[in-house]
Chains A and B, each alone.
Chain A
Amino acid sequence: MGDGATLAERARGNGAGESDATEQPGPFTISGPGLVGTLASLGAGAARAGQAVAGRVVGPVADQLRTRLTADFDDRDPDYIRDNLPLVWLLSSLWFRGEVRNLGNVPEDRPVLMVGNHSGGNMTPDTILFTLAFSTYFGVERPFYQLAHNLVLASPYGQILRKYGTVAASHAHAREALKSGAALLVYPGGDWEVHRPIWERHRINFAGRKGFIRLALEAGVPIVPVVSIGGQETSLFLSRGDRLARALGLDRIFRLKVLPISLALPWGLNVGDFLGHLPLPAKITVEVLPPIDLVEQFGPEPDFDEAYDHVVRVMQECLDSLAAERRLPIIG
């Protein structure tokens, strides 16, 4: 996968129906579900086979998804964010009793790459809380983008998230955002991390994805670690279901590496979490750590493994101390 290719180009490429078996997951995409390409190829295949009905149904859906996954940084709407902050504030303050510490560690006058851990299945309440806190602290006027999994943007909530500055995860989008001078939030752990079982809730798990290190070096921006706790207590997450996904062939068909299994409201047993769930009111705490300048700390040509280990270690230490503060699950 060429780094320079936009997601739209990748989607168009996939839409030709030729799956790229050598394509590796991007730095922030977790299993690279390639939903657009899959649907588009399904549409094309169906049409070729004379299955006109399937083609008519799937084709427009693929077109719609292409539109949704094409990053347009102008979709971010500060007025929309401002108008909706009270609702998000109510949710974050009353339901999650949110607390965000040390936002002053984020440099104010330059682009910055914020690297976070996140939790809570597809609902990720820590992301909602942090977006609120960032927007009120720096003002909605400061450009702020977040990278998200393709499936998130393809969901019915995708259109809303685009107004908040969420764009499909790709190295090209990330570079473009930083080049424009914006603050960028990435979650390298992606859905591998967010669907981890509850007994791993106090563990930073980026699954070895080091794309953010390369991105920070290329863009010449500092990394600001953002550590959150509490999100993985909003449901009883039992398993990522990665074996199940493989057994069902989902990784081959939809390139889905996980099929999470949890006990969640209102479904009870929740497989896939495709429709989301009602999160339990767990207290969410987010702490922003001081910026890490990779060149200053590791020299002009840092070892990626060393830099990655350093960032993860710093974040794990913070998560350990946040975990030590918590007295009871959910209550905090």
Chain B
Amino acid sequence: MRLKESIEISAPQSLVWEYLADPTNYLHFMSGVTRWEPASDRRSGLGARYRMLLRVGAAEVGGVIEFVEWRPETDMAWTSVTGVDQRGRWRVRALPDERTRVELRYAYGVAGAGIAGLVAERVAAPSISRHLRRSLQQLKRQVEHEQLREVARRRRETTSPA
């Protein structure tokens, strides 16, 4: 099952990327995620592994994931190593006026689970979609808040007496 959600953020691409690249932020903005902790020596970037769990219905599902694509400021993608089969991708694209478009793609399933697996994927889809939408909304809120703080800091620096 493949799901996709996107949002526009009033902040520059670099700031959005910086926020997404920091694994300590994920528990703050990813809706339904109950666990996102490093499972490898590399804490961020290509090859970094995390143990993640997402609450869906009666269970927290997930497992160990690994980032298999990492193109700074534009794309990062992960795939599952253990647990439920999953692939995810952040697409970060610059827009005019220091705005950024962020797209979150998520594909999941359980190979070999037969008809029950197909039904479960579809039953879980609305709940996971909701999580993706909320995650993007929370990402927007957090990054725009960071942006406001950054602007305020710069303003303070320029207006403060030498």
Is A94 an interface residue when CB atoms closer than 8 A count as contact?
yes
> Inside 8 A of B61's CB, which chain A residues have their CB?
89, 136
Is B11 an interface residue when CB atoms closer than 8 A count as contact?
no
Is A92 an interface residue when CB atoms closer than 8 A count as contact?
yes
Given the complex of chains A and B, what is the CA–CA distance between A137 and B82 in angstroms?
11
Q: Is the CB of A83 within 8 A of B114?
A: yes
Is B126 an interface residue when CB atoms closer than 8 A count as contact?
no
Interface membership of chain A positions 121-140, coded 1 if the CB is closer than 8 angstroms to chain B and 0 otherwise: 00000000100110011010
Contact of A90 among B62, B84, B119 (CB under 8 A): B119
Q: Is the CB of B58 within 8 A of A132?
A: yes
Chain B residues touching A, majority SS: mixed
Q: Is the CB of A93 within 8 A of B113?
A: no
Given the complex of chains A and B, what is the CA–CA distance between A103 and B112 in angstroms?
27
Which of B58, B61, B117, B120 is packed against the most chain A CB atoms within 10 Å?
Answer: B58
Nearest residue in A to B59 (C-beta to C-beta)? A136
Nearest residue in B to A129 (C-beta to C-beta)? B58
Instruction: For chain B, residues 23 to 72, give those with C-beta under 8 angstroms from any C-beta of chain A.
Output: 53, 56-64
Interface size on B, residues (CB 8 A): 24
Is A96 an interface residue when CB atoms closer than 8 A count as contact?
yes
Is B110 an interface residue when CB atoms closer than 8 A count as contact?
yes
Given the complex of chains A and B, what is the CA–CA distance between A328 and B3 in angstroms?
36
Nearest residue in B to A99 (C-beta to C-beta)? B58
Contact of A132 among B59, B83, B119 (CB under 8 A): B59
Q: Is the CB of B58 within 8 A of A85?
A: no
Interface membership of chain A positions 82-124, coded 1 if the CB is closer than 8 angstroms to chain B and 0 otherwise: 1111110110111011111001000000000000000000000
Is A141 an interface residue when CB atoms closer than 8 A count as contact?
yes
> Inside 8 A of A129's CB, which chain B residues have their CB?
58
Q: Contacts A84-B113, A87-B113 given; indicate if A93 touches B60 (C-beta within 8 A).
A: no
Q: Is the CB of A90 within 8 A of B82?
A: no
Q: Contacts A87-B116, A93-B123, A139-B63 given; indicate if A82 touches B57 (C-beta within 8 A).
A: no
Given the complex of chains A and B, what is the CA–CA distance between A87 and B57 in angstroms?
13
> Inside 8 A of A87's CB, which chain B residues have their CB?
113, 116, 120
Which of A85, A94, A103 is packed against the most chain B CB atoms within 10 Å?
Answer: A85
Q: Is the CB of A136 within 8 A of B83?
A: yes
Given the complex of chains A and B, what is the CA–CA distance between A35 and B162 in angstroms?
91
Chain B nearest CB, measured from A256 CB (Å): 33
Which of B64, B110, B121 is packed against the most chain A CB atoms within 10 Å?
Answer: B110
Contact of A82 among B110, B114, B121, B124 (CB under 8 A): B110
Q: Contacts A89-B59, A132-B58, A133-B59 given; indicate if A141 touches B82 (C-beta within 8 A).
A: yes
Given the complex of chains A and B, what is the CA–CA distance between A85 and B116 in angstroms?
9
Q: Is the CB of A86 within 8 A of B119?
A: yes
> Inside 8 A of B53's CB, which chain A residues have their CB?
136-137
Closest 4 CB pairs of A and B: A93-B57, A98-B58, A86-B120, A87-B116
24 contacts between A and B (CB under 8 A): A82-B110, A84-B113, A85-B110, A87-B113, A87-B120, A89-B124, A90-B119, A92-B57, A93-B58, A93-B59, A93-B123, A94-B123, A98-B57, A98-B58, A100-B58, A100-B59, A133-B60, A136-B59, A136-B61, A136-B62, A136-B83, A137-B53, A139-B63, A139-B64
